[in-house]
Amino acid sequence: MALAKAIQSKRIVELQNDAHGFQNTNKSKANALDYLMDMQQQSKERGGLNYEKTIGNTIRELKLFRGDYIAFRDIDKDFLSSFVDFLKQAKKASKYGVTKAGGLLSNN
């Protein structure tokens, strides 16, 4: 019960900080790709192979777009808009990561 209260208190402080424009610098410096790789692993362990593949494809395209480190603080409306534009020009890749000749990613 004490642990639950501590977690609740921490979350309340985070919400209040967000409401007043204060940023949690530890959270904002975290690598979003690490988070996605953790999600991919969890999906694999649960047997969600399609979702695991989707996350893997997203990670691959994000790395091509910005490299191996993308801080959460860098993800905003402009980042996402640029990423969508990047995806519209991205080439299809085979399941082995080799770019297929001529084809672009589907709108899906």
pLDDT of residue 24: 61
Q: d(Cα 31, Cα 74) in Å, to the nearest integer?
A: 10
Q: d(Cα 92, Cα 53) in Å, to the nearest integer?
A: 14
pTM for this predicted structure? 0.67
pLDDT in tens, 60-88: 999 999 999 999 889 999 999 999 999 99
The amino acid occupying position 79 is F
Q: d(Cα 49, Cα 52) in Å, to the nearest integer?
A: 5
The two three-digit tokens of residue 88, written as one number = 């519209």
Extract the residue ranges of the chain whose pLDDT is less than 70.
22-27, 94-102
The amino acid occupying position 14 is E
Q: d(Cα 29, Cα 14) in Å, to the nearest integer?
A: 15
